[in-house]
Amino acid sequence: MPSSRRIAVAAGAATAMLVAVPSYAVVRSPQTGSAQPAATPSRISTNAPAAPGATPTSAPGASATATGGASTAPGATSSTGPTGSATSSVRPAPSTTYAPPALGSDAPAPVARNLQVERPFDVQPAPTGGLSPDSSWPDAGQLFTETELAQVVPGLSGVRASDCLPGQLPGGGSTARNATCTLTLTLRGEPAEDASRLVVSIRSIGAPDAVGRSWSSTLAAQRARSGERPGLYTFYRNGVLGASSAYTDGTTTRVLVQRPGLAAEVWFSGIGFTRLKPTYEASREAFRTEVSPGVIQLLAGKMARAQ
């Protein structure tokens, strides 16, 4: 009797994701109380490792040739049994949303405010299921309007974007629009030479599975770091303020927002914001507890409104 033989071929697609983006820490001078950013370079790389426990999924509509495998219809598995009959099955498509790790019911849940969004995201999902670094990617310098930010930053009367940079793509090239920008704010009571700044970094936008793997990996690392520095981090309850997940170290806030078929990870850092209240400590607390949650809610509203 001839021996049975099974051949299985499956298509896969490499996904690209941003794995390093400028991260800023506020360093206050004991004499002046001024804040200075400390930045790290931004870069996009491919095939970032999956987070512990994550199950990679193949992107729809792509053929597997990058690793030398044969190409077939995406998601299809064929087999030939001992009798020569052939059967086929279709692999389930990737999920339309990513489920971030649960942070527990005791995680803080700020109350959402009545905020209005003027400029929603209009990003088109990448056809291969990876990132979407094309012209539909929003420009970091225009991510927020002055009217939007004025709802969450007291005394705001002007916004100016500078130091804008695109994200670098693997193998050369860059994103079509800026991935990182510094927004210099004009605030009541602040001198121009010591103006507060909001540094916006679009870390990744694309298929939920691709963005989610990066988010899970970074979240795990930051939660481990938070154990070494108790009281520094705040991990918000999933789903609050309309965001799928969000957390902050008091200066840099990381936000994951989604709609079916599309996810985005955006970071923002507050530099300055020392005159929101009568004292430095009260002002920085206001940034953490009032300004940051408001910006999180704006980002969630921008993704939810896009069609």
CB 164 within 8 A of CB 178: yes
**The predicted structure's pLDDT at residue 107:** 87
Decide the pairing of beta strands 245-248 and 16-20: unpaired
Judged against a pLDDT cut of 80, whether residue 8 lies above it is answered with: no
- Average pLDDT for residues 128-147, to the nearest whole number? 86
Query: Could you tell me which residues are beta bridge partners of residue 178?
Result: 166
**Residue 221, SS3?**
helix
For 149-184, the pLDDT digits (tens) are 999 999 999 999 999 999 887 667 788 899 999 999
Q: What is the DSSP letter of 266?
A: E
| 283 and 276 Cβ atoms separated by less than 8 Å | yes
Q: Please, are residues 152 and 192 in contact by the beta-carbon 8 Å criterion?
A: no
Residue 267 has pLDDT above 90, yes or no: yes
More confident: 232 or 158: 158
| Residue of 101 and 31 predicted with greater confidence | 101
pLDDT > 70: percent of the chain = 67
- Within 8 A by CB and 6+ apart from 149, the residues are 156, 159, 183, 185, 198, 295, 298
Q: Is the pLDDT of residue 21 over 80?
A: no
Q: What is the DSSP letter of 276?
A: S
**Rounded to whole angstroms, how far apart are CA atoms 176 and 157?**
29
Mean pLDDT for the chain overall: 73
Q: Which two tokens stand for residue 124?
A: 């088109």
